[in-house]
Structure 1
Amino acid sequence: MEKKDAVIIFGASSLGKAALEIFESNGMVAYGFLDDTKALHGTEINNVTVLGSTDDDTYLKLIGASCDAFIASDEPKLREGLTKMLHERRQTQAVNAIHSTASIAHSASIGHGNFINGAAVISSNAEVGSHCLIHTGAIIDFEAVVEDFVQIGAGAIINAGAKIEKGAFIGTGAVIIGGITIGKNARVGAGSVVIAPVKDKETVFGNPAQAMKA
């Protein structure tokens, strides 16, 4: 996809504001926000207007033609729904929002629609899918794999060769030991140290991390 000079940001929450700062610092112009909270419509965030709802075709028709799009939501179902809409209605993909202080190895691979905040590190031969949220100072070590729609909290460490499967959530400051697999839609609590595989949809917490009882 050819990169445009302007972007429409889906979501005017804190994540949207952070994405705005990243795009502006990288020399891109934010055309505006789209958000489904009607009370925000017509308001401004750092001099950028909340134009309307996320399904407003007046603005959607600009995406792919004169603007890129970025989805700024930490709700997985909403991110997936908006991603599907962009595919079906605009035949396009969301762009990455990568902070200028993030460090990404040349041999690493990254998909599209990712939010990668300041001081994050993605090491050699690591793989990051699409629509992930990688927060401030998170580390994805060499040859680790992060699948689509994963959220990694600030300061979390995904050690070498670990695999984080689709939709998983890794809390702030958590540590995933090298070679461990975190299953699909699993959740790892903040500050946890994971030394054993985590099953799909399982929630673990502690040091060492233990499964939480339902």
Structure 2
Amino acid sequence: MDKPVIILGAKGIAQAALEIFNSNEVITYGFLEEDATMHGTEINEVSVLGNPEDEGFLKLIGKKCEAFVAVDDNKYRQFLVKMLNDNRKVQPVNAIHQSAYISTNAAIGHGNFINARVTIGTAAQVGSHCILHSGAIIEHQAELADFVQVGAGSFINSNVKIGKGAFIGSGVTIVSGVTIGKNARVGAGSVVISDVQDGETVFGNPAAPIKK
């Protein structure tokens, strides 16, 4: 990556993203953070410049800088991505840790956060703007749609399909062939042996729907 990167967000995965860019010898121009109390502060010698919607900084994106959206909240993440797509006509770049393994036959989109020791197997498909935490395993021919989050140490077996915006907690195992619906949530440590419907929350071993 030739251009420096502006990180939208300064909390949660933002500092891990900075570490990834540093290790890949990519210069971080600064952070843009919604929390005004952080403006003017520094994180590992990188300044928090202002708000993510500040046109004064956003105008740098595309011409002089790349962008990466480092926001855990899925709705706000989607808002910021749409803003960059519509206003700046750019796609956020990927942040991929050096210790991650991505098969040469796998396909990944834009703006993904792929942390240490993540494995993405052959013919797997990872959409755009996903968050894959440390040690997550995406087995061969699994398919993740856009804005999916997978917790640390989770095991997504072969031929699993995960819908847009789904959240998979830490230490989850999803057995081969299962489909996880859009915006579904799987609680930490669960073992999922059957399909999960759109918007459904499941938990346990075997995972079962949580009654509202």
Q: Normalising to structure 2: TM-score of the pair?
A: 0.99
1:82 is aligned, of 47, 66, 80, to: 80
Q: CA deviation at 1:58?
A: 1.3
Deviations 1:41-85 (A, max 9, x none): 000000000000011111111101011000001101001000110
> Residues 11-160 of structure 1 correspond to what in structure 2 (within 5 A)?
11-160=9-158
Runs (4 or more) in structure 1 with deviation over 2 Å come to none
User: How far apart in 2 are the matches of 1:83 and 1:36?
Assistant: 15
Gaps of 5+ in 2: none
Name the Cα RMSD after superposition. 0.6
User: How far apart in 1 are the matches of 2:157 and 2:7?
Assistant: 32
Secondary structure of 1:70's partner? strand
User: How far apart in 1 are the matches of 2:86 and 2:180?
Assistant: 30
Q: CA deviation at 1:88?
A: 1.0
Q: CA deviation at 1:138?
A: 0.2
Deviations 1:132-178 (A, max 9, x none): 00000000000000000000000000000000110000010000000
Secondary structure of 2:87's partner? helix
* 1:206 paired to 2:204: yes
Kept after mapping to 2: 8 A contact 1:4/1:68 = no
Instruction: Give the aligned residue type for 2:125.
Output: E
Instruction: Give the aligned residue type for 1:127.
Output: Q
User: How far apart in 1 are the matches of 2:118 and 2:193?
Assistant: 22
Which residue number corresponds to residue 9 of structure 1?
7
Kept after mapping to 1: 8 A contact 2:12/2:71 = no
Deviations 1:19-38 (A, max 9, x none): 00000100100000000111
Kept after mapping to 2: 8 A contact 1:128/1:145 = yes
User: How far apart in 1 are the matches of 2:35 and 2:207?
Assistant: 37
Which residue number corresponds to residue 185 of structure 1?
183
Q: Normalising to structure 1: TM-score of the pair?
A: 0.98
Gaps of 5+ in 1: none
Deviations 1:96-139 (A, max 9, x none): 00000000000000000000000000000000000000000000
Total equivalences in the alignment: 212
Identical amino acids, percent of aligned pairs: 57
User: How far apart in 2 are the matches of 1:69 and 1:39?
Assistant: 22
